[in-house]
Amino acid sequence: MSRIKSALNAQEKRELFDPQGSLANNHPAGAKLLRDLTEADFHVCEVVNQAHHCLIRLGCGAILSIYKSGKVMVQGRLHGTGSGESKEMLEKLLPHNTIWQVRLD
């Protein structure tokens, strides 16, 4: 493991061991939204930091795409007994011009 760590440059180490820091540098709006989601007790399953957008997968089934342009898109299938409540909470957290493409089960 130490040999792998030493082969990485400083930025790669930062992204590997501090994904929040690299997200904040590349997608400040995504980092703020991630912080808001964790404070609202949403279970964050995965954060994917890509060149033009970041992707946040939530335990409730929602997949959020936050683009550098400021556009937010919600996709996926909200599942569970509180799927309607999850959607209401997300609507309060996300910008008013969010694009919704979700299904409630």
Give me the sign of the Cα torsion angle 26, 27, 32, 36. Answer: negative
CA atoms of 29 and 32, how far apart (whole Å): 5
Q: Digits of tens for pLDDT over the chain (105 positions)?
A: 444 445 555 655 555 555 556 676 778 888 888 889 989 999 999 888 888 889 999 999 999 999 988 899 999 999 877 888 999 999 999 999 999 999 987
At 77, which amino acid appears? R
Enumerate the domain spans of the chain.
Answer: 2-104
Q: How far is CA 93 from CA 1, 14, 42, 89, in A?
A: 40, 28, 11, 6
Cut 0.85: pTM above it: no
